[in-house]
Amino acid sequence: MSGKLFGKCVVVTGAAQGIGMECARAYHREGARVAILDVSLEQGEQAAAAIGPETIFVHCDVASAASVEAARSAVLAVFGRVDALHNNAGIATPSKPLHETDEEEWDKLFQVNLKSVLWTTKHFYKDLKATKGPILNTASMVGLIGQPNHAAYVATKGALISLTKAMALDYATDGIRVNAICPAGVWTPMLRRWAAEQENEADITSYLDRIHPLGNCPEGDVIADAAAFLLSDSARFITGCILPVSGGAELGYRL
């Protein structure tokens, strides 16, 4: 077996479904050993089994420092090293403007989407320094261009984009590259839940198809292929990159 990630151990958070699972699948296809970290026990186990050999599931709540620390120990017990970290875990609800967002909703979004990166970086930093392994953060186009009625979610993704740049500078001397990937619309279970929350759910599919100049709203494989590149040695001189994988959505929506 060979591939761009052959022999490497890649840790992916939030990989029980959606973009994370598609990325884990792509990493495995490129020859990596993959550790799926997710809070969803049943879905995580199913994802690891579906992806195949050299893939493990570790139950982990990325919003908890203790849970991330325990997950690291579990990964090292099986694979003995960590060569790359993909911070993918995230939530998108609620769909509200800021004045309608309560403190609990705000805190939950920041704990999962942003503070989780603090915990994974703290606990995997030494392992990545030893292997000069890259970090990839799943951000979003909304962190660059905004989105109505998603104030807290947009705030987390905008902060993650800025954090990525700061991390890239901090860890460059360690040989750790840090990049972020920015999807626009991608059909995932989370996006389908978001669509169901909207008043005009019947129009959402048409809307999501229109915003991507290159074509209809894609599945997660388009993100996974770009992510595999950014974690590979082919991207060895790329760091601090905020990469749109959006079908050109940021260039202007189609009429």
The single residue listed with the structure tokens 């052959």 is 6
For 147, counting Cβ atoms within 10 Å of its Cβ (0-12 exposed, 13-18 middle, 19+ buried), the class is: middle
Our measurement of the distance from residue 126's CA atom to the centroid of its chain's CA atoms, rounded to an integer in Å, reads 21
Q: Residues of 182-201 as b/e, b for ≥16 C-beta within 10 angstroms?
A: bbbbbbbebbeebbeeeeee
User: Which one is catalytic: 27, 125, 153, 207?
Assistant: 153
Tokens coding 235: 């991207």
In the block, residue with structure tokens 């009429």:
255
Contact predicate 47/23, CB 8 Å: no
153 is catalytic: yes
Sheet holding 135-138, edge to edge: 55-59, 33-38, 9-13, 84-87, 135-138, 178-183, 242-245
Q: Is 221 exposed, middle or buried (0-12, 13-18, 19+ CB in 10 A)?
A: middle
d(CA 215, CA 39): 33
Residues noted as catalytic: 153
